Amino acid sequence: MNIPESTDSTARNDLARQVFVTLSLVVCVVGSMIGVGVFGGTPIAQAAGGALSADSTLLAPATPAFSIWSVIYTGLVAYTAWQWLPSQKSNPRQRSLGWVVACSMLLNAAWILSVQAGWLPVSVLVIVALLVVLVVAFRRYISRRPASVPEAVVVDGTLGLYLGWTSVAVCANIAAALKAAGFSGFGWRPEVWSIAVLVVVAAVGIAVAIKGEGRLALAAAIAWGLAWITVGRSADSPESAPTAIAAAAAAAAVLGAAIIVRTRSMTALARVRSGQER
């Protein structure tokens, strides 16, 4: 029996997407290994003259915060394996997400290489592009509910952590680049700028919690980054009590909003199901 050309073309496109995601993961993992100095390169915290170290700016999270990358990379490996399952090859959700996730992994590697090269302005452009790509992914995966708990964890959970952490990292990256460029803050105290940025992060986190119906992974990653900014500004140089307090308040606000929205969403869903059973 002849296979219709359109069906054959769709199958090839699905396979191309799966392969591209896999190759992008390889590039991403190799990039991360370069970033931690496995191949003899300079670790990110020491690259670019230490501009992105934990004590570089008021918005730099303490060193333990970066351990979240190991969770994100594990999730990306799981996502790549997941999208190879026969049931996922032609899944509309994967068709919508695959290319976007692959691009995010390539941008991740590009960011590491740009920092390694000491190109801080370029690194800002790359991480902003990464954030935009992850926002696109967010809008796509919230448009369709996951079909199972494993999918919710592997897809929604991984991409939520990825976006949440990047939302905090982009602020730290921009702050580091501005400091390296000699930006004086127009004469305003550094705390004014740090608190203003943290207020914006909190507002965005709350808005995303509402838009995403309280997805906890995303909120948890934002809160994680903010909490480690609190630790960094409380215990490490440069110390700043106002920044630490603002970061802690922002973390609580984002996580609290997600929990409230999630609870309300689950309650509403339970009511709908209860009404249907009747």
> Residue 72 is encoded by which pair of tokens?
């994100």
- Residue 2 makes CB contacts below 8 A (sequence gap 6+) with none
**Distance from the Cα of residue 60 to its chain's centroid:** 16
Top pLDDT among 193 and 43 is at 193
On the question of pLDDT at 3 being above 90, the answer is no
**Distance from the Cα of residue 177 to its chain's centroid:** 20
- State percent of the chain over pLDDT 70: 93
Over residues 40-58, mean pLDDT: 84
**How much is the CA Rg of the chain, to the nearest whole Å?**
20
- Per-residue confidence band for 43, with pLDDT thresholds at 50, 70 and 90: confident
> Residue 152 is encoded by which pair of tokens?
């919710």
Q: Are 127 and 170 in contact (CB under 8 A)?
A: yes
Over residues 242-271, mean pLDDT: 90
Give the pTM: 0.92
Nearest-5° Cα angle at 69, 63 to 74: 150
- Residue 258 makes CB contacts below 8 A (sequence gap 6+) with 205, 209, 214, 215, 216, 218, 219, 220
- Residue 170 makes CB contacts below 8 A (sequence gap 6+) with 127, 128, 130, 131
d(CA 202, CA 171): 12
pLDDT tens readout for residues 182-223: 988 888 899 999 999 999 999 999 999 999 988 999 999 999
Provide the mean pLDDT of the chain: 91
Report the first-to-last Cα separation within the chain, whole angstroms: 48
- Residue 137 makes CB contacts below 8 A (sequence gap 6+) with 97, 100, 101, 104, 159, 163
> Residue 255 is encoded by which pair of tokens?
């996580």
